[in-house]
A and B are shown apart, each in its own frame.
Chain A
Amino acid sequence: MLELKNISYEIKQSKQKILDQVSLRIEPGTLTVITGPNGSGKSTLAQIIMGIKTPTSGQIIFGGGDITKDDITARAKKGISFSFQQPVKFQGLTVYELLNIANGELFSPVEAGQVLEQVGLNPDDYLKREINTKLSGGELKRIEIASILARKDAKLLIFDEPEAGIDLWSFQDLTKLFQKIRCEYPDKSLVIISHQEKILKIADEIIILENGSIAKKGAPAQIISEIKEAKP
């Protein structure tokens, strides 16, 4: 489904290398967790897949075609979706309107409500709310995740630290949600940037990034025990 070939990313001014020759493949219907220390380049890699950042060199293949030069919109239309680590706030835009934009056509309030219920929000309380500073960080995060679930044409779902800021809604609910997506949509692929062991455990493959390169990759059982051994 997705292949990254020798992706590098360098900050122009400082010449600091954030990613160095990263290559990986994401197969259809798989759940991949990318983990690693802060500053290892995880979020940059996710943003490069979505087109938010442009790689200094390398190639991105998605659905059999080269999307390296596609902008964000073109990639979104081809089926890539992206959940932001820091949800974006909008003055005047309601949750219902955001879900409609994500869906690409008008949702009925019932359909939009069903999406909100999946992230543990009561539609009666939230559909008409503006996505502004009056919402808590946890509420914003769940709305952000709901906006990804509303994208019915998405084939690749990228979540950048979905657990960050999740409040009363537990990690347990979050991992259940990812498993539910897998059951209901077996062809969709998930890429999750995360540090959480509960999320690492449900992966098909874990990739560890260190200093902008892939340090390790493998099945959860093997990788999690290696991580634990490294940090006794």
Chain B
Amino acid sequence: MKLSKEETQIFCEVITGGSDTTQETLSQLVAPESAYNFRVNGKSISRHSTENINIVPKSDGQGLDVYIAPDTKHETVHIPVAISVTGHKETVYNDFHIGENAEVVIIAGCGIYNCGGVDSVHDGIHRFDVGKGANITYIEKHYGFGQGRGGKILNPTTEVHLKAGAIAHLELEQIKGVDSTIRNTVAKLEQNAKLTVKERLMTHGRQIAESSYDIQLKGKDSTADLESRSIAQDYSTQTFKSTITATAKSRGHSACDAIIMDQAKVFALPALNAEIKDAELIHEAAIGKLASDQITKLMTLGLTQAQAESHIINGFLK
């Protein structure tokens, strides 16, 4: 199936990080052995299951159940979403049922192209039930473009339930383009489960981004590591809230670093909640402007101030 230029651009950004926007067909975007579901303007336009990964649409059409068989190894699932019709609003529920000891990469993400005057909205609720000993990497990218007055609004909710010994790496990225986003991430960890979260956010213009984490360390020796780095430019506003609650002997660490520029505003509210004396919880938070000594150092190597700032920002958001 052919895609419009804008839809192709969205899928390339979400799947390949924008490395190739000349691709024209879906089959060229993902490896043939991958499982995938491509959703465009509220409809699934192409879907493929594999022997181990079964993608089943929900009966109301508003989402998917993805069943990953136990012991599935080194497989990838792509579930990108594109919205290219101005004014399109949707709420999508995707549920991932991950079998014991499976090891998979799940690449999601949504791009909105809005050239019109009405808001386009995607609310994506992703729920992960990760079986014992399974190991998942979940990569989610958000992307917005188009010069219309209508907003490009994305509100993702991610719920992760890690059973004993399960591991989840979440990589959540939103670099410019999206006008408004409210991200909610909830994780519950059982014994020996491990969660790492890497969030990268950059806002500009008058964008508003809010990110909340509720991480519950319920099992003995569970660990969580949350790292959020963000850059707020122009008149944009960011809010970061996190709570790590430990009700068992466990370790939790969160670090949020924000670079604030221009007239932007950043609000950070990290919280630790230890309900047992064996909990080890640490939080680090910093908000500051672009470091002048970093800019100066790169200028002494021959970069202009603008080039130096760009290098620092790109490095920070890696």
Contacts and interface: CB of A to CB of B under 8 A. Distances in A.
- The answer to whether A and B interact is yes
Interface of A: 50, 52, 71-73, 76-77, 81-82, 84, 86, 88, 90-93, 97-98, 101-102, 104, 147, 151
B296 A93 contact: no
B304 A73 contact: yes
Given A52-B296, A90-B294, A91-B257, A76 B315 contact: no
A132 to B, nearest CB: 10
Given A72-B300, A73-B304, A76-B302, A88 B293 contact: yes
A76 B316 CA distance: 24
A101 B296 contact: no
Given A73-B305, A97-B315, A101-B311, A91 B300 contact: no
B302 A93 contact: no
Contacts of A90: 294, 312, 315
B150 to A, nearest CB: 34
A76 B314 contact: no
B225 to A, nearest CB: 15
Interface residues of B, number: 22
Contact of A84 (B229, B297, B302, B312): B297
Contacts of B318: 92
B315 A147 contact: no
Nearest to A89: B294
18 contacts: A52-B296, A73-B305, A76-B300, A76-B301, A76-B302, A77-B302, A81-B301, A88-B291, A88-B293, A91-B229, A92-B314, A92-B316, A92-B317, A92-B318, A93-B311, A101-B303, A101-B311, A104-B302
Interface string B161-175: 000000000000000
B107 interface: no
B118 interface: no
A93 B315 contact: yes
B312 A73 contact: no
A50 B297 CA distance: 11
B90 to A, nearest CB: 35
Contacts of A86: 293
B299 interface: yes
A71 B302 CA distance: 10
Given A91-B315, A92-B315, A101-B311, A151 B301 contact: yes
Contacts of A81: 300-301
**Which of A82, A86, A92, A97 has its CB near the most chain B CB atoms (within 10 A)?**
A92
Interface in B18-68: none
